[in-house]
Structures are given as structure tokens and as C-alpha cells.
Structure 1
Amino acid sequence: MSLPRLGVVIVTHRAAEVIDACLDSLLAAPGVALRVVVVDNASPDDTVARLRGRVAPAPHQLEVIEAPNGGFAAGVNRGLERLRADPGLARFWILNPDTIVPPKTPARFATHPAPEGWAMIAGRVLYAEEPGGIQIDGGVIDWRTGVTRNLNQHAPADATPPDPARIDFVTGASLVASRAFIECAGPMPEGYFLYYEEVDWAQRRGTMPILHCPEAVVRHVSGASIGSAGARRRASPFSEWFKHRARIAFLRRWRPRSVPGGLAFAVAKAGQHALRGDGAAARATLAGAFGRGPTRAVREEMARAGIDPARL
């Protein structure tokens, strides 16, 4: 009897410290045949050297693609393009490199019952850091401000799963998309560069449902390469500029009347940063939300990351 198959896309950037642990856990998965494509977005460290030395054990396959840093969605789309050329793949798992995959998770994603014409499957993402509660069980959108919220965030790892009908989007840290959805919605939108790509993508599903598989668990060291806020870490100016820039762009596309609410939220967030003494994050928040170019702190980090401002 042949094994169920699952395509996997991992986008890396400065992932040398985490990619080995991710692939070690992923490629040890039993009961499934994985075809893994890692797309490296111009890592300045030795991520690619580590990847080039790896060989996937049977029945799994591993391929590495080196690409310019065109952002998260651009990397995802490169990987999906390669995998979709394989007619034997109907499910595609987008996975962060800063995750650890328990042994049964890939097979659970590959075999989770799904109705005709489904869009996405959300799994359960746990914080890798202690105490290790839930980071996200699927996300919802506050359409007054564009702010997203993680369902069951900080709840115990065995918390009751949410009703899938409540889920507005699936985190790009662990997202399974169907071939039918990709053919209907098109590739993941690349204009955001970072943040809100998966939120926007999910809005393109029409009536295609989002499913939830709580047994498909990954552990996530959130924001390891881009400076997002984590369980014990404040967001960097780099993260704040991209996040607030993306939120307003998302609202302009999907709910223009809520742009004032989104801007008001950004002003309040900048004030919060200022009160904490983090002027760099405050300035980056306002610059991103109000359509101004990256601040000095953000430009410096973009240069270190090999990001061409002309791509934004």
C-alpha cells in the first residue's frame, strides 16, 4: 500500500541556527512520503551550506532552491511552483524553518479528512519556549482595525480546539493548502514582503472552507529571523515597520473604510513603544502605517538581510 504524500515548502533566511533541527524532525516522520522544497532567500549566513549537505532518507525527498530575497510570499510561491508540477501532490504544507515537527504531524496533515473543495488546514502551533502553551489555533481579524488575533493563544497545549468556522486565516508558520484552493485563489500575494500575506491569501478562498486539525502540532520559535514579538521578546523596529505597513495595505485592499481605525491603532502602538523608551520601534511603527519609507534602524536591518528596497 502506497504512503500518503505531502508537499512541503520551507522558506529560509538566516536560518542556520534552526534549520537542522527543523529538518531532522520533519524528515524522521513515519507513515507519509514528503517532498520537501527549501527556498533560501539570500541568507548571508551558512544556511545554504548546511542545506546542501543534507540527504533525505527514503521515502522522503529534499530539494534546495537559492533565490533573491523577494520576501516570504515570493519564496513560498517558488516552492509551490516546483511542487505543483508533481501531479501526485494535492496538499502543500508551508512550514517555518524555526519549528520542530512531532513525528505524527506530517501524516496527520496528509490524511486529515476534508470535504470537496476545501481551502486550507490549520494545525496547532505551540510556543517552543517554556511553558509551551498554544501560540495559534488559527487566526481571526478585527475588521475595525485590521489587527489579527490568535485563537487559543497562551491556552494549555490540550485546550479545546476552536470551531473551524471561526477561523479567518491560517498562520504561515504552519499552513496546509489544497491544490484546488491554489488554482482558484492564485499564488500567495507578494506585495506585502512580510506579514499579512497569508491573511490576504485566505480572503481569496470565497466559500472554500478552512479546516482545523488539532493533532497536527508544531513547536515554533516565533520570529527567530525577522524580530517579531515572542513570548519573552519585544518586536524590533524592522518587524514593526513591515507589520504596520502590511496591515494598512491589507485594509486598503479588503476594508478601506477601516483604514482610519488601523491608523489609530498604529498611533496607539507607537505611543506604547515610546512610553517603554523604545523610540526606534515607535518611529518605525508610524512610518510603516503612514506610508513613509523605512527608518534608519529598519534600513540598516534591511541591508544586513540583503533586502533590495526597490522590491518593496
Structure 2
Amino acid sequence: MIGNRYPEVSQNGSEQPNTGAAETPAREKQGVQPDCSVIVVSWNTHDYLALCLHSILSDPSVAVASEGSTPAGQLSQTRVEIIVVDNASIDGSAEMVAANFPQVRLLVNNRNLGFAAANNQAIAQASGRVLFLLNPDAYVRPGALHTLVGFLDERPGVAAAGPNVLNPDGTWQAAAFRFATLWDLFCEAVFLSVLFPHSRLFARKELGGFDRDRVRRVDWIQGCALAIRREAWDAVGPFDEGYWMYVEELDWCRRANQQGYRLYFTPDAEVVHYGKRATAKARASVLPLGFRSHFRYFRKFDGRATELAVRAITFVQMGLRAGVSVVMIALGNDRDRWRENLRAYTAVMREALRSG
């Protein structure tokens, strides 16, 4: 069974770490000081997770930490610790990790705590000077971790860095952004950002029209592959667990910006992310929860009036997409997929009409 990181369960979960995984915070253990702590939060991602972990452990520029940390700026290999948080999977993911990846520290929760809480749980035990959050449906290309750690070591004022995220076919996947304005959301709603993906006017949020082959400063980085300096994490604080799914990394990056930190896109580090392919079957339940977090974010940072405007734009956006879905169903084109899309879009429309 291949699933996604988000369930349809109660948001009031409790944790139950497996024996030995959480008895002592790793930051207190003597003789083990990795350069990078790789954090993977998983829910029913058995096959993807195996590929993800293998990509890290097979990277010749990476070594599993066992002794003191290599000094910053003198990295021959990047010493890593890998922490997997299993959010109550039922597909054997946790058992697979325990059996096949003894180098990995496994935390097993008896309920799904959500992405934000599970990351906070792991980071509280992490000991690396860099925290690398990686989705289970993603894998690193050789040298990616080494590059990201080196990038942050050389730039003390940078809080976080994001790699060049690719689709499985090698095409570019948007994973570094500017903070969205109402104009950006409108352009997205009426397909202008899709019709003109390289436009600095219509695709501003996705960095349209800018060179993606160079290092550049960005506002926020998607959490599918996000390297954070530990000092910055401690200063900015943990993920806001009020977000059940999505937006938690956007919220964190917004707070980092408010504190004067900088964030960068780093094209020389590459990560492949399956993304929507891994979550397609759960789209009707996942999408409205994601937009619920979206609305909460705008209310938190920009006020109630902006939130209401975002809800109105979203209602129009989903209405247009629902209309397209109806047409595609009528034409007989992949009806099952378009019916699932229609259910997802109408669910988001209902969410947009909620009082919040």
C-alpha cells in the first residue's frame, strides 16, 4: 500500500515512541554529533519511504554519524543521523524500517499527530547543526545533503535553504516561493499563472521569469525538502501545531523573515519528489484540509479582512475547476480521476464558505 503523509483521523493524537527510540534525547548523548539530522515523517508510505532512506544511505558523500562532528567548512563527508517518525501507519512502514534500516532511529506514534507535531517531536531529539526535513515520497540525489550543509555553514545569516526539487521525469517542480499577495492568488485562481508560467507579473509567487539555475533569495521553501540551521530553528521556534496539514513550513518561514533571517534556493542540490502522484487517491479529503490551513495562515498574519478575501478568491478558483471537471466527465476523459477532482473542488468550496 502506498499512501500519503496525511490521514483521515482525529487531530487529537497521542504519541507512543517505540522502545529505545525516545528514551534519551540524542542531543544529550556523548560522542554523537552529526552535521545533519534528516527528519522523515511518514504515514502509509512503505515503498516511497524505502526508496527515500536508501537514497540517503547510498550517497557516497554521506556517512551515518558515529563519532564527533566534522568541523564546519572541512567536510569530506557529511555525517548524518536519520530520524523517521511513523504516524500510525497500517501498511507495515514502521516494521519495514525496523527490519531493513538499522541505522535509522524510529519513532512510532499510536495516532497520527499531523506533520507539524511529528516534525517537532523528532527535532526535539535531533542533534545535527542542520535539520533537513524530507518527505517520504522524495529522494535525494547524490551530494544534495552535502551541498545544503556546506551552503548553510558558509552563510551564518541564512536560516534555511531549499534544493532544486524535480518531478520523477526530471522536470522542475515549484518548491521555493515568494509570499503570496491577493493579486498572486487571483492570478492562480483564473489560470493566469498557468497560462503564463514564466511571467513576472502573473506567476510572481512561483518565481516566474527568473533564472532557476542560480542561487537566489526566496521568501519561503516547501517542506518536502527543507534544510534549516538549528540555531535559526531554536530562535524562530517550532512548527505551529495548529496547522493539521500543509502551511506549517510557510508559517515558519514567515516568522523567520520577520526576525530578519534570510532563506535561499540552492539549485546545485537536487531532490526528486513524487508529490501529487503519492496523494492523488486522497485528494478529496486532503485538499480541503490544506485550504483550511491556508485560510488560518492569512488570518494569523494578515488579518480577518484578508482572510475573507482569500476565501472569496478560493471559492471562485474551485468553482472554475469544478466546472472544468464536469466538462471532462461529460466528455468521458478519465472519469474516475475527474470525479475525484470534482469531489475535492466542491469540498474546498464548502470549506471556503465556513465562518472560520
TM-score (norm 1): 0.79
Tell me whether 1:273 sits opposite 2:316 in the alignment: no
* Structure 1 position 48 matched with structure 2 position 94: yes
Tell me which moved more, 33-42 or 132-141.
Answer: 132-141
CA distance in 2, matches of 1:211, 1:159: 12
Deviations 1:25-65 (A, max 9, x none): 11112222110000011112111111111235xxxx41010
Q: Which has the higher mean CA deviation after the structures are superposed, 272-281 or 16-25?
A: 272-281
Q: Tell me the alpha carbon deviations over residues 111-147 of structure 1, each in whole angstroms, 9 at most, x when there is no partner.
A: 114433421111110011x2x2110251122221784
Letter of the structure 2 residue corresponding to residue 171 of structure 1: Q
| SS at structure 2 position matched to 1:48 | helix
Equivalent residues in 2 for 1:89-128, closer than 5 Å: 89-112=128-151, 113-128=153-168
- The aligned amino acid for 2:45 is A
Answer yes or no: is the 8 Å Cα contact 1:4–1:107 preserved in 2.
no
AA aligned to 1:287 is R
Kindly tell me the number of residue pairs found equivalent between the two proteins. Answer: 271
CA distance in 2, matches of 1:181, 1:45: 35
Call closer, same or farther: CA 1:98–1:225 in 2, change over 3 Å.
same
State how far apart, in whole Å, the 2-side matches of 1:195 and 1:47 are.
Answer: 22
Contact kept in structure 2, 1:139 and 1:150, CA below 8 Å: yes
Structure 1, unpaired ranges of 5+ = 229-234, 294-312
Contact 2:215/2:267 (<8 A) preserved: no
Q: Partner letter of residue 123 of structure 1?
A: P
- Counterpart in 1 of 2:125? 82
Name 2:270's counterpart in structure 1.
217
| CA root-mean-square deviation | 2.6
Give 2:177's match in structure 1, choosing from 115, 139, 143. 139
Decide whether the 8 Å contact of 2:161 with 2:264 is kept in 1: yes
Q: 1:187 to 1:146 in 2, by over 3 A?
A: farther
The change in CA–CA distance for 1:55 and 1:142 in structure 2 (over 3 A counts) is closer
Counterpart pick for 1:200 among 251, 266, 274: 251
Q: Please say if residues 135 and 152 of structure 1, whose CA atoms lie closer than 8 Å, have aligned partners that are also in contact.
A: no
In our comparison, the structure showing a higher alpha carbon Rg is 2
What SS is found at the alignment partner of 2:220?
A: coil
Decide which moves more: 214-223 or 283-292.
Answer: 283-292
Contact 1:93 1:176 in 2 (8 A): yes
Q: How much does 1:3 deviate? A: 10
Aligned to 2:234: 183
The separation in 1 between residues aligned to 2:120 and 2:310, in whole angstroms, is 28
Aligned mates of 1:49, 1:137 — CA distance in 2: 31
**Selected match of 2:351 from 264, 288, 291:** 288
Retained in 2: the 8 A contact 1:192–1:246?
yes
CA distance, structure 2, for counterparts of residue 3 and residue 9 of structure 1: 15
Percent identity for Structure 1 against Structure 2: 24
Amino acid at match of 1:267: F
Between stretches 91-100 and 269-278, larger displacement belongs to 269-278
| Deviation (angstroms), 1:220 | 0.5
What is the letter of the counterpart of residue 70 of structure 1? Answer: L
* Structure with the larger helix share: 2
